[in-house]
Amino acid sequence: MAEGSLSNHFLIAMPSLADPNFARTVTYLCEHNEDGALGIVVNRPSEVTLDELLDHMGIDASGLGTRATPVFMGGPVQRERGFVLHPPAGEWDASLQVAEGICVTTSRDILEAVARGDGPSQFLVALGYAGWGPGQLEQEMAENAWLSGPAAPDIIFERRHDERWQAAAALLGVDLTLLSSQTGHA
């Protein structure tokens, strides 16, 4: 990871962030370098369930244990493209280990394994991603749109989606309910 890189960090939307794509979100940054950043929003479930997505892809989901697993809205860019966040396990065609406890995989083979019941034991499936061009994320952070801090796999894989925003901020010792969404001028 490059010096100053926010890869393997959470971006936590400040209460004042009004962009409907990112209000009250936690984004896991998979990549951050001089060319920009790519992240997956981990706390915004879509109305699509995993079994519906697999059916749409022509993948037999009969081995899938739970039917109500949500597919997340990973971000506003390329919403037809799928991403799977998971702990390192298995060999997949297109996988990147972001950190010791988290990989991101974009190949169909991991979804086929999940459908058979022999994929990773923990995973988050998302459609789309959040992307920033060179310097864009740094500018947004300077404008206080985001808090950032090291990511924790348990927040992604073990917390309920509606707890992740507060839990990610709590890692930094921040209680978001105490932050005003109003900005003042002296």
Cβ neighbour number for residue 64 with a 10 Å cutoff: 18
- pLDDT tens-digit map of 86-95: 998 778 888 8
Work out the pLDDT band at 172, boundaries 50, 70, 90. very high
Look at residue 83 in the predicted model and tell me its pLDDT: 96
Does the pLDDT of residue 67 top 70, yes or no? no
Rounded to an integer, what distance in angstroms lies between the CA atom of residue 143 and that of residue 140?
5
Q: Answer with the residue of higher pLDDT: 96 or 132.
A: 132
pTM of the complete model: 0.91
Look at residue 92 in the predicted model and tell me its pLDDT: 86
Percentage of the chain exceeding pLDDT 70: 92
Work out the pLDDT band at 177, boundaries 50, 70, 90. confident
Residue spans of the domains in the chain: they are 9-176
Does the pLDDT of residue 100 top 90, yes or no? no
Superfamily per CATH, domain 9-176 = VC0467-like (3.40.1740.10)
Cα 98–Cα 104–Cα 109 angle in degrees, nearest 5: 145
DSSP-derived letter for residue 16 is T
DSSP codes joined into one string, 65-124: S-S-PEEEE--SEEEEEEEEEE-S-S--SSEEEEETTEEEE-SHHHHHHHHHT-S-SS-E
Q: Answer with the residue of higher pLDDT: 68 or 57.
A: 57
Length of the chain: 186
